[in-house]
Copies of this chain bind each other. A is one copy, B any other.
């Protein structure tokens, strides 16, 4: 046990309740229902948007939550803390995004704003993947507040000031979330995990749970990338581009996984993650006239670089730069997000988007990465303060430090090693 305790009995409940009460008061002062004055927003709210909201919701809560259940003993935290952070994040995101668009001094809540609030939580859930297993719920609530606040600033800058295109948010969500998380992970570097950790791996069933997350993310990505597109042909284009990019990405991810693995076998880590890189990478261009061919090419490349990243780059980042990226978010969100931003610059330069400006696209990409790195480093140092209940190295990747886990009555039983543990599990 370190000098500072991991016992959360007071610090977690107090933080969670205080945050929620402050949030409710802020909603009492600033929030109201959308009143229908903005007819366009109301119209789309009542129709299609409502459905896209539910699809995005599934991606946030089932998709991200179950994708991270691949760890053998960290499933409760993956899906449970995912729910906690998303539930708090969407409230906080409604506020921080809403402050930029007040109407009569009020944030008027519409389905459109709800979708954007769900989006803002995605950045936190991506960063959560980088630090998964190595942080306490208290630290993660603090990360949520800071990351969403900074996201809202960058999003405002990119969308309103630079007027850059990023309909599927390759830059402002995926690249931002990934590099923010990697910066935090770097600050929280744990030397003793350099040689791995016995719980930092999957078992057969945990890999199947993770595939629930993968497949729901994969299926609903067309809704994610088209949710805030202009209705009509533009939105249809975003659906088709995303659908085709993802399909092409699957083939390249499977091919490269088999090519680089032992005896040509497929690796579940690649399949769970790299098959989604096409959705990330086509995000910025999703509503542009890049053609089915262009979308598929982006997906093909994304699947390749993502899989290669898992195989070759992640070990280098961990060993040489001290970036321990539990879920490999650099490969799923980081590089494909940057690829998406670059593709957007090229597409706009080639005139694939009316009114687009390649310099502004480049500025948006730089801004997103800049805010992510600076914000992540600052946030990381705040999270590193010793009283937030960070788990000791030996308890990383283990639910039982923050959860009542079935079949383990008492903490000191844990030291009764594998023989006993295996018995408990087997009886189950």
Instruction: Name A270's closest neighbour in chain B (CB-CB).
Output: B404
B233 near A36: Cβ-Cβ < 8 Å: yes
Q: Is the interface of A mostly helix, strand, loop or mixed?
A: helix
* Chain B CB within 8 A of A255 CB: yes
| Docked complex Cα distance between A265 and B400 (Å) | 8
Given contacts A88-B250, A404-B267, A407-B203, contact A12 B255 (CB under 8 A): yes
| Docked complex Cα distance between A275 and B81 (Å) | 12
A265 near B211: Cβ-Cβ < 8 Å: no
Contacts of A83 in B (CB 8 A): 215, 218, 250, 271, 275
B268 near A204: Cβ-Cβ < 8 Å: no
Q: Which of A238-254 contact B (CB under 8 A)?
A: 239-240, 243-244, 246-248, 250-252, 254
* Chain B CB within 8 A of A258 CB: yes
Contact of A219 among B33, B54, B297 (CB under 8 A): B54
Max chain B C-beta neighbours (<10 A), residue from A209, A251, A418: A251
Given contacts A13-B259, A232-B46, contact A300 B406 (CB under 8 A): no
Max chain B C-beta neighbours (<10 A), residue from A208, A223, A233: A208
Contacts of A9 in B (CB 8 A): 258-259, 263-264
* Chain B CB within 8 A of A396 CB: no
How many chain-A residues does the 8 Å CB contact rule pick out? 126
* Chain B CB within 8 A of A20 CB: yes
B76 near A268: Cβ-Cβ < 8 Å: yes
Chain A residues engaging chain B, CB cutoff 8 angstroms: 7-14, 16-17, 19-21, 23-24, 27-28, 31-34, 36, 42, 45-48, 50-51, 54-55, 57-58, 61-62, 65-66, 69, 72-73, 75-76, 79-80, 83-84, 87-88, 90-91, 109-111, 114, 137, 201-209, 211-212, 215-216, 218-220, 222-223, 231-233, 235-237, 239-240, 243-244, 246-248, 250-252, 254-256, 258-259, 261-268, 271, 275, 289, 291-293, 296-297, 300, 402-407, 411, 418, 421-423, 425-428
